[in-house]
A and B are shown apart, each in its own frame.
Chain A
Amino acid sequence: LGYPETKDEL
Chain B
Amino acid sequence: MNIFRLIGDMSHLLAIILLLLKMWKTRSCAGISGKSQILFALVFASRYLDLFTSFVSVYNSVMKIFFISTSLLTVYLMYFKFRATYDSNHDTFRVEFLVIPVGGLAFLVNHEFSPLEILWTFSIYLESVAILPQLFMMSKTGEAETITSHYLFALGSYRALYILNWVYRYYFEGFFDLIAVVAGCVQTILYCDFFYLYITKVLKGKRITLPA
Contacts and interface: CB of A to CB of B under 8 A. Distances in A.
Interface of A: 1-10
B197 to A, nearest CB: 27
Interface of B: 5, 9, 12, 50, 54, 56-57, 60, 63-64, 67, 111, 120, 162, 165, 174-177, 179-180
18 contacts: A1-B174, A3-B179, A4-B175, A4-B177, A5-B54, A6-B50, A6-B54, A7-B50, A7-B120, A8-B56, A8-B60, A9-B5, A9-B180, A10-B12, A10-B60, A10-B63, A10-B64, A10-B67
Q: Mostly helix, strand, loop or mixed at chain B's interface?
A: helix
Q: Is the interface of A mostly helix, strand, loop or mixed?
A: loop
Contacts of B50: 6-7
